[in-house]
Chain A
Amino acid sequence: MKNKRWIVYLVFTALLMASPAMLNRYWTDVLNVVGLYVMLALSLNIILGHCGMFHMGHAAFYAVGAYTTAILNTTCNLPVLWLMPVSGLLAGLFALVIARPIIHLRGDYLLIVTIGFVEIVRIALINNVFGITGGANGIFGIDRPTVFGMKIRTPAQFFYLIWFFVAVTIFLFHKLEHSRFGRALNYIREDDVAAAGSGIDTAHYKLIAFVIGAVWAGFCGTLFAAKMTIIAPESFNFWESVLLFMIVLLGGRGSIPGVILGTFLVIGLPELFRQFATARMLVFGAVMIGMMIFRPEGILPPQPRAYRLDGSAEPEEAA
């Protein structure tokens, strides 16, 4: 059972890594977009999937990251990739400030407030609040990233850059899941009264989950700005947040493979059916309703974590 799953992962990874050689520029670029969304959705998965907070404003953190990179690159000429940690940090700080007063809100209340946030951020960007966001036109002329002296230009080059960061994200988040921290988020999602009663500082963990999710969305913002070289407020609208929310619910809350599959379905699949683009919403709606009824846990719900039950035993894996 376990080996079979690993074979699937390996084949998938090999196919993906070879795909720029087999695909034209257009389809490689589709995979780049999917990669960005995988990383974004994995970061939302920490907040929504693991901690169970209905956060529908993730595009706000993404926007903070992208604008931080764009502004610092175009005004101070700092290299794009060096701005990644700065963008992550700023998005994280932003989350720290806005999340603190709202994390105690439950389910649908939090949903509404976070929708409000993402709209406020977008409108602030359009109105050029600090005179540095370029208003509705956004910011253009962002530099291409450079890796070891090589300028990243082609979709194939971007493919390896983006999926490298996706791989790092998967690696780190997998570890994060399998830890005291990851468990604490799950306890809070399952029952926050029982979690507090078991000694978990629920407010603290909710806040940290928000910050980690935001930091990663900030990283994604840098990659996005570098890939597009031009960013505008419309890239960070409410709909982006809805798509990410949908990916996590559809794929499987708290499941990395689920979120990756969900991204391919929600972001990649519509590209195959461009001619039906107008029916996209209809299909999404129908699929989501079907999921909620027949498979509320998502397509690939998480497996229980494995533990070595005694020194000699194989790591156990429940089905």
Chain B
Amino acid sequence: MTLLHLEHLTKRFGGLMAVNNVSFDVPAGSIVGLIGPNGAGKTTVFNLITGNYRADNGQIVFDGRPIGSLPTHRIVALGVARTFQTIRLFQKLTALENVLAGCHCRMKSGSIAAMFQPPWQRAEEARALDKALAELRFVKLENQAMNLAENLSYGNQRLLEVARALATEPRLIILDEPAGGMNDQETARLIDTIRQIQARGVTVLLIEHDMSLVMKACEKIVVLENGAKIAEGGPREIQANPRVIEAYLGTEEE
């Protein structure tokens, strides 16, 4: 079954074709990798999926429902969560409150309930707190709960973003270079975490530069170059694909 379906997706920035007629599917329950040289348009594809940018052309269908014109928060509520390539945590807030941000869309209480705090509101807060702590434990950051996000190490900040995304109870999580800035040990731990996310029944779409991570973790890989899809397939197929090799060798020479 297809969870996310992209069809003829196109996005221009002025004269630049950042994403050019890209189509691919993300099967439910899988881990899919989106790779390609710098500037290939990977992050732009993510921004299109989450409604940060609007596509000039093409369709984005999540779970049978077109989401291309919905605002970001509605897309999150439908079950698509993300992390950012350049870490975007709430730096001056605690790790716990960063994760509580993810719980927000599964809660109901508004400003009036906040001022008078009826029992149902307090029960909802307590549930959110439990949920947030559970997600912190999931990424093994429970002992950092009351630390400000800005005081966490780089690798831990990335994990905190993952926890925040998971707290939205997504069906699809999209990770933009989750291993960026991580050392080998942290990367190995991340691969574990990604597998555990899949085991929870959450589908994963990730962008990654670390080829060993992609080849180890992903069942399906989509390769972009200059905004266009140049290959799609399993890790072996992709590794053997001459166009992919050329694209990657090409960038290494620069």
User: What is the 8 Å Cβ interface bit string for chain B, positions 109-150, against chain A (1 contact, 0 not)?
Assistant: 111011111000100110011000100000000000110100
For window 135-181 of chain B, which residues contact chain A by CB distance below 8 Å? 145-146, 148, 164-165, 168
User: Does B107 touch A at the CB level, under 8 Å?
Assistant: yes
Shortest distance from the beta carbon of A116 to any chain B beta carbon, whole Å:
27
Q: Is the CB of B73 within 8 A of A200?
A: yes
Q: Is the CB of A193 within 8 A of B88?
A: yes
Shortest distance from the beta carbon of A65 to any chain B beta carbon, whole Å:
19
User: Does B6 touch A at the CB level, under 8 Å?
Assistant: no
- Residue from the list B52, B77, B115 in contact with A176, Cβ < 8 A: B115
Shortest distance from the beta carbon of B205 to any chain A beta carbon, whole Å:
15
User: Does A318 touch B at the CB level, under 8 Å?
Assistant: yes
Q: Is the CB of B146 within 8 A of A180?
A: no
User: Does B71 touch A at the CB level, under 8 Å?
Assistant: yes
Question: With A197-B72, A304-B148, A309-B146 in contact, is A179–B90 under 8 Å at CB?
Answer: no
User: Does B44 touch A at the CB level, under 8 Å?
Assistant: no
Shortest distance from the beta carbon of B112 to any chain A beta carbon, whole Å:
9
- Residue from the list A191, A199, A309 in contact with B76, Cβ < 8 A: A199
For window 147-202 of chain A, which residues contact chain B by CB distance below 8 Å? 172-173, 175-176, 178-184, 186-187, 190-191, 193-202
- Residue from the list B76, B113, B133, B146 in contact with A198, Cβ < 8 A: B76
User: What is the 8 Å Cβ interface bit string for chain A, positions 298-314, against chain B (1 contact, 0 not)?
Assistant: 00000011011110000
Q: Is the CB of B84 within 8 A of A197?
A: yes
Q: Is the CB of A180 within 8 A of B71?
A: no
B residues in contact (CB < 8 Å) with A: 50, 52, 71-73, 76-77, 81-82, 84, 88-94, 96-97, 100-102, 104-105, 107, 109-111, 113-117, 121, 124-125, 128-129, 133, 145-146, 148, 164-165, 168
Q: Is the CB of B104 within 8 A of A184?
A: yes
Question: What B residues does A187 contact at CB under 8 A?
Answer: 90, 93, 101, 104
- Residue from the list A183, A197, A212, A310 in contact with B88, Cβ < 8 A: A197
Chain B, Cβ-Cβ closest to A202 = B73
CA distance A310 to B132 in the complex (A): 12
- Residue from the list A180, A191, A309 in contact with B125, Cβ < 8 A: A180
User: Does A316 touch B at the CB level, under 8 Å?
Assistant: yes
Q: Is the CB of B90 within 8 A of A199?
A: no
Question: What B residues does A175 contact at CB under 8 A?
Answer: 114-117
Q: Is the CB of B97 within 8 A of A183?
A: yes
Shortest distance from the beta carbon of A53 to any chain B beta carbon, whole Å:
16
- Residue from the list A178, A182, A200 in contact with B105, Cβ < 8 A: A200
CA distance A186 to B77 in the complex (A): 20
Q: Is the CB of B116 within 8 A of A181?
A: no
Q: Is the CB of B115 within 8 A of A172?
A: yes
11 more A-B contacts (CB under 8 A) besides A187-B101, A195-B101, A199-B81? A175-B115, A176-B114, A183-B104, A190-B90, A194-B88, A196-B76, A208-B110, A307-B129, A307-B145, A309-B145, A318-B146
Q: List 8 A-B contacts (CB under 8 A).
A: A175-B116, A180-B125, A187-B104, A196-B52, A198-B164, A199-B73, A304-B94, A310-B133
Question: With A181-B110, A304-B94 in contact, is A194–B73 under 8 Å at CB?
Answer: no
Q: Is the CB of B133 within 8 A of A193?
A: no
CA distance A78 to B89 in the complex (A): 51
Chain A, Cβ-Cβ closest to B116 = A175
Shortest distance from the beta carbon of A292 to any chain B beta carbon, whole Å:
17
Q: Is the CB of A180 within 8 A of B90?
A: no
Question: What A residues does B148 contact at CB under 8 A?
Answer: 304
Question: What A residues does B168 contact at CB under 8 A?
Answer: 198-199
Q: Is the CB of B109 within 8 A of A181?
A: yes
Question: What B residues does A198 contact at CB under 8 A?
Answer: 76, 81, 101-102, 104-105, 164-165, 168
CA distance A309 to B143 in the complex (A): 10
- Residue from the list A195, A202, A316 in contact with B146, Cβ < 8 A: A316
Question: What B residues does A307 contact at CB under 8 A?
Answer: 96, 129, 145-146
Q: Is the CB of A190 within 8 A of B93?
A: yes
Chain A, Cβ-Cβ closest to B72 = A196
Shortest distance from the beta carbon of B136 to any chain A beta carbon, whole Å:
10
**Which 3 interchain pairs have the tightest Cβ spacing?**
A199-B105, A179-B114, A199-B76
Q: Is the CB of A309 within 8 A of B133?
A: yes
CA distance A309 to B94 in the complex (A): 13
CA distance A309 to B96 in the complex (A): 9
Shortest distance from the beta carbon of A235 to any chain B beta carbon, whole Å:
28
Question: What B residues does A197 contact at CB under 8 A?
Answer: 50, 52, 72, 76, 81-82, 84, 88
CA distance A252 to B91 in the complex (A): 17
Q: Is the CB of B96 within 8 A of A199?
A: no
Chain A, Cβ-Cβ closest to B142 = A309
Q: Is the CB of A191 within 8 A of B94?
A: no
Q: Is the CB of A179 within 8 A of B117?
A: yes
Question: What A residues does B81 contact at CB under 8 A?
Answer: 197-199
CA distance A201 to B107 in the complex (A): 13
Shortest distance from the beta carbon of B198 to any chain A beta carbon, whole Å:
21
Question: What B residues does A186 contact at CB under 8 A?
Answer: 90, 93, 97
Question: What B residues does A190 contact at CB under 8 A?
Answer: 90-93
